Amino acid sequence: MAGMDSLKIHSTPQFKSSSLVVGWHEDASELGTKVIDYLNSKLGVEVFAEIEPLDFFPLGGVSVQDDVVQFPESKFFYSRQKDLVLFKSNTPRSEWHRFLNTVLDVAENYCHVKEIYTIGGMVSLSAHTAPRDLLAISNSVKIREALGQHYPDKGMDYETPPGQRPTLSSFLLWAACNRNIAAASLWVPVPFYLLPTEDPAACKKVIEFLDKRFGLGIDFRDLDEAVRNQNERIARVRFSYPEVDNYIKHLESNLSLSQEESEKLVKEIEEFLKKTD
């Protein structure tokens, strides 16, 4: 097995025919980890394993974010009630293949998973008033067909542009395919001016999918409230600052903003939303 030295098993629950949902830190709006945190709070989970950071992250010190020290974490959670495994992790900085194979070792050998889903946010130039979309990339026909039951298949075509690299989720899909494990990455475009804060509508879009797929029985009232609350707050910014209103109207009309206008919109929205938190 790939990196069992780095794996710390705390307990071995009786997994049945689980699925694994993966959320990475550092995607747009931290959507992946927000979805995992939300599910953790709703499903009554326990931590059963984690990957030690030593081989995968530079440990020459710690970073500080929003006044708080950060430290890489890579933890597996299990919901006995729903037979669902969740994995929340920072993206490793080296030994990616070994790291992903350690995740797959846990998924395959301990949890006997039949499907893996990764969650990610991507930057969108649309306005927040547009409905959130859900895009999926699968690693096999089997999972693609399964996905089709719960959302309209958009049949996306994509190739990494020069100077950029594939996502870690694509790397995981490829590694899972090599072990004949069905996997898909789910992406929700997040309006660019919500990246520094949060986008509950994007979060809801993913949870809705997972709820249908795994019969989680989620009560969406809190998410609906969060979406409504944010929309109201942005409406107040638009009312108070005609310039912000004008920028968002541009986006609603499918017009683009200049770099300067975009930066101003991000700043105004971030300041206002953080102030009224």
Partner 1 sequence: MVACWPGIGSIGLIAIDTLKSMLDAEELGEIEPWDFFYPKRVLIRNGELKELEFPASKFYFKRTERGDFLFFIGEEQPTDGGKAYAEGKKAYQMANLVIDVAQKFGCQRIYTSGAAVAPIHHTARPKVWAVPNTKDLINEIKKYDNTILMSDIEERGGQGNITGLNGLLLGVAKKRGIESICVMGEIPIYLQGLPIAYPKASRSVLEVLAAALGIKIDLEQLNAFISQSEKEIELLYDRFPPEIKEHLEKLRQVTHARPTEPGPITEEDKKKILEDIDKFFKKGPKED
Binding site for partner 1 (CB under 8 A): 58, 93-98, 136-141, 144, 153-160, 165-167, 170-171, 173-174, 177
SS3 category, 22: strand
Rounded Cα distance between 82 and 19, Å, is 10
For 137, phi then psi, to 5°, come to: -125, 130
Closest distance to partner 1 from the beta carbon of 264 (Å): 23
CB of 258 closer than 8 Å to CB of 182: no
SS3 category, 180: coil
Closest distance to partner 1 from the beta carbon of 12 (Å): 28
SS3 category, 230: helix
Rounded Cα distance between 25 and 17, Å, is 26
Closest distance to partner 1 from the beta carbon of 41 (Å): 31
* Cβ proximity to partner 1, 171 vs 241, nearer residue: 171
* Cβ proximity to partner 1, 174 vs 241, nearer residue: 174
Closest distance to partner 1 from the beta carbon of 122 (Å): 13
* Cβ proximity to partner 1, 35 vs 183, nearer residue: 183
* Cβ proximity to partner 1, 165 vs 221, nearer residue: 165
* Cβ proximity to partner 1, 60 vs 131, nearer residue: 60
